[in-house]
Every structure is written in C-alpha cells, then in structure tokens.
Chain A
C-alpha cells in the first residue's frame, strides 16, 4: 500500500520574475511501513521536500497524497522532527511537559500525562532531565526531546530532518538503532533526511538522492540488506559497501 504519493511536484519560492524553482518535477512513492532515506547536497531542497509532505508548504504544481487524501495542511498523522531543534521546543515548558504537549486534550490526563511523557523520555534516555528546561540541555539532548515529543503524537508517518546532525558518534549510532526499532515496532512510514551517506544506507529500505539547482531526484536505490541491521556487520557487508561506492560517486558528481 502506498503511504505517500508525490506526483510531479514542483515548488517555486517568490513570484513573477523573482520566482525561483526550488524543486522540479519530483515524483516519489513511499510504501506504508517503508523507511525512505533522502540524501543530497546542502541547499538542494531536502527540507523543502519534507515541509511539502508535512503540509506546511503547498506545491506550486503537482500534488501529494497521503492514503487517498490530498495533503493541503499539516496533520497529526504526520509528525515532524525539525532540523533546528532549538526553536522547535517550548522554552517555558519543562522537558516532560514539552513531550506531553501532543498528549494534552487526549485520553490521558493529570499525573498519567507526566508518567507517559517520562516513559517516552526513557526511550530517549532522558528521564533524568525531565524537570529541566530546554535551554539547560545540550543540542543533542534537545533533539532527542523533540524525537520523544514526535513519538507522543503517535504518527503514521514520521518525517525527520537531519535529526542526528548535532549528536556525537556514539549517541548517534544508538539513536539510529532506536529509531529503526521504533519505526518497525510501530509500523511507521519514515522519510528520513540526512547528509550522511552511510546513515542513509544503514537506515533506509530505499535511498533517494536529490540533486541541486533545481532540486530533483537523480537516483533511487533499494537497499537489499537484511533487517534488523547491525552497526558492525551491516556496515561491513559487501552490499553496503557497494551502495556506498555507487552513491558516493553520484554525490561527488553533483
């Protein structure tokens, strides 16, 4: 089943003679439960593509469908993990309360709200800072709070924009596995943007390479590596290395 259907989408910013074509004729489908990695040079329109899927921006031409509904606004079904985590948290709320935000107004209330938020923080190994404020946390921790919050939303589609850019290597690998596990466990469809080629292959069922000026799809590969993946064996697998070789050359070329 198709979860996201991007049909000949183009996007321009600006109007008239000042219009700039950012994304040109993107066509992509993402299967339900699929993990799609998107990679491409900085400024090629990765974030813009994610914002289109989220419904924060509407395409100039073409359409995006989620299920059989046209995307024309954001929805609770699609959680976004923003690249600029520092701006995406509510600075006046404690960490647990930030995570509880999507739960408010739902079935869980009172003390249970906090408990549920703390459960989610545990997944991100952040329960110790539940009563801190966002600006007391490092960038990597703030990003994990944002991930925990997006989980509280219980989305069908998980949209992540370079989520691990601010993390150290060890935490990064831990979270890669955590995200892969959660996506599989909750059967989420994931669009995962990264500028790290190995990360794209390691996590993805498929990797899409975007080229720049204007942003367009230049390559799509299926990653035929068994899941769940393993930080050591997967990365040493000859197929992994072959993909890496192929895509590396492609990215250098652009």
Chain B
C-alpha cells in the first residue's frame, strides 16, 4: 500500500522538482509558470489567513446543492421512465433533445431568467449534471432481471415492497455510477458558472488572480479544486463500498 502511494507520487514529484529547478534557473516566465514553491506559499497563506474558506465553502455548497437536486430529480425521473413504458415514450424524446445542450451555453439564459443569483448557479449545475444520473438510473430500472419480477409477483409483493426490496437494490450499482459522474460534472460547472457570472467562489478567485497576473494564487486555486475533487470522489467511493458490499466483495 505504502509503496503504491510512493510509486504513484513519484512522477508528479519529479515533474514538480524539474519545474521548480527550471523556474529557479530563470528558464520559465514567473508570470505564466510560477515556481511550485511559490504556489505552495500562496496556498499556505490563504489557508493560514482564512482567505481560502469563504470562496471554498461557496463553491462547495453551490456544487452540492446543484448535484443533490440533480441526483434527486434524476433518480426519481429515471425510475419512473425506467418503470413505465408510457412515461418512457412520453418523456424520452424530450430528454434526448435536451441532453446535448452544453450546460455552459445555457448560463446566459439562466442569468436572464434568474438574475445573477445563487439560484441561477444551482439551476445551471443541476441541469448540466442531471444527465449521467438520469440515464444510468433509467438503465438500472429498465434492466431489472425479469425473473426477479416474477419472483416478486409469485409472492404477491406490494409495489412499495417491490421497489424497496427488488427494484432499488437492483438498480443501485447503476445509480451510483451516475451519481459519481454527476458529481464531477457538478464541480466543473460550479467553477464555470462562477467565472461566467461573477458569483463569489474559487472559480471567481482564479479568474481574478489571472486578471491581476497573480499567477501563484491562480495555481493555488487550481490545486485546491483538484484536491477537493479528489476528496469527494474518495468519500463517494467509501459510501459505495459500504452500500454495494455484495458487488465489490471480490
């Protein structure tokens, strides 16, 4: 385990060391490629002074709201469409039509409708990140083993028990895949929407740092976002391992 971590970190560390050496030798312009240690410095400063937490919390909260709304709506909608042929025929064409819209392109329209508000940002994030969870939930519910439906029928299971005992557990691995992808899209969109609409947050901080040529701060922001993305996917993985122990066991 430890050796694996060391091996995984080896390449990035070497690259960073090279970068640091090149910057020290004056081979890289500090305006574009500040030395990694400078970035680290900017990062520590913003952590120590507490300047980081406000924007970080704003971005994380926005991302979470959008992702949560998308997951909830995606699972419910996906379950309904996956269950009912009528709902599928009614809704699927519209969804197929909406799906290719790049979420970043709907930002101007969202601003028009909701103004420069957090609600606008959440809507955009939810719209953009609903697709993976919706489509994989739909697939999960449509792909329930027919034999298990018959087993439930022979036991005269009530619909609510069928949903709870058979349908949901059966669709859960697919739902989880969707939820995970949706989360990473939500993070991307949280940053993009901040940049496009001047909402306070890490995305905006990065943009401002760039405009003021404070490149260490810019890179520090990117590092924080990267670590944050890593952390949430780690948490989700843990939850998944818990919930789907029967599947991931070996």
A binding-site residues for B, Cβ under 8 Å: 54, 56, 73-76, 78-80, 82, 84, 87-88, 90-93, 101-102, 104-105, 133, 153
Contacts and interface: CB of A to CB of B under 8 A. Distances in A.
B89 interface: no
9 contacts: A76-B155, A80-B150, A90-B148, A90-B166, A90-B169, A92-B169, A102-B155, A133-B246, A153-B154
Contacts of B4: none
B161 A91 contact: no
Contacts of A105: 161
Contact of B154 (A78, A87, A90, A133): A78
Given A87-B147, A90-B166, A80 B249 contact: no
A75 B156 contact: yes
A79 B246 contact: no
A101 B155 contact: yes
B31 interface: no
A80 B148 CA distance: 12
Interface size class of B (residues with CB under 8 A): 10 to 19
B155 A84 contact: no
Contact of A92 (B151, B156, B247): B247
A92 B246 contact: yes
Nearest to A149: B151
Dominant secondary structure at the A interface: loop
Contacts of A91: 246-247
Nearest to A103: B155
Contacts of B170: 92
B99 interface: no
A104 B165 CA distance: 11
A74 to B, nearest CB: 4
A54 B147 contact: no
Interface in B117-143: none
A250 to B, nearest CB: 32
A73 B155 CA distance: 11
B147 A82 contact: yes
Nearest to A94: B246
A101 B154 contact: no
Nearest to A152: B155
B153 interface: yes
B147 A153 contact: no
B155 A88 contact: no
Contacts of B249: 133
B145 interface: yes
A200 B154 CA distance: 25
Given A88-B148, A105-B161, A75 B169 contact: no
Contacts of A78: 154
Nearest to B158: A105
